[in-house]
Amino acid sequence: MPAWMPPWITTAALVLTAVVLLSAYVSWRAGRLDRLHTRVETAYAALDAALVRRSAVVLELAAAPALEPASAVLLGDAAARARRAHGAERAERELAESTLSRALRAVMAEPGLAEALGAHEAAEAAEAGGDDLVAEVESAAKRVMLARRFYNDAVAGIREARSGRLVRLLRLAGRAPMPEFFEMDDEPPVTAPP
């Protein structure tokens, strides 16, 4: 320290540097939390779209004339319940989507389903083949599984980031609600071999 500089100036400079560094860190953490919340919202929108798409494709499968009546009713009812639960409480929607997953696995496991749908479509010379419909249902179910995993990973990340003492002490998350995991049975169906 130069002889001409009083000690209080050095102390003030150190305090000011510490305040600037702490402010920069707090600002970075707040920005990170904001980005994580945006990621959770985006992942939920993708999950919601995947769930809606899956129920639409399952309703299309349920309307296929080659499907057995009992299977068609089971799928149609489960898909309709999932659609109605779209705006309901999360627990109700999770239950409806899980029920749809189980019904879909039960119907898709029926032996000869893909062949029956393919033969019926070929006989009527339809625009889309039965194999395409089965593949579309399987694809939609896999997209739901992936979207749910991405969403739950994003929720785990934000929960971990919000668990820090500094975040809680300074309320860096603001008034944003703590996101919840989406718990459902999302195991995709497996088509029975011919």
DSSP state, residue 111: T
Residue 177 lies in a domain: no
Whether residue 84 lies inside any domain: the answer is yes
Query: What value does the mean pLDDT take over residues 89-103?
Result: 95
CA distance 45 to 139: 18
> Domain total for the chain?
1
Q: Are 94 and 122 in contact (CB under 8 A)?
A: no
Angle at 118 between CA 113 and CA 122, to 5 degrees: 155
Structural domain includes residue 64: yes
Domain contains 54: yes
- Among candidate residues 158, 175, 144, 149, the one with its CA nearest the CA of residue 39: 158
pLDDT digits (tens, 9 = 90+) for 28-81: 888 888 999 999 999 999 999 999 999 999 999 999 888 889 999 999 999 999
R_g of the chain computed on alpha carbons: 27
Q: List the alpha helices (DSSP H) in 128-176.
A: 130-162, 165-170
- Whether 186 is in a domain gets the answer no
193 domain-assigned = no
Nearest C-alpha neighbor of 100 from the set 61, 129, 69: 61
| Domain membership flag for residue 10 | no
pLDDT in tens, 127-186: 544 558 888 999 999 999 999 999 999 999 999 988 888 888 888 877 888 999 999 999
- CA dist 112 and 91 (Å) reads 35
| Tokens linked to 193 | 């071999």
Calpha distance 86→159 (Å, rounded): 25
Domain that holds residue 113: 15-170
**Position 46 in a domain:** yes
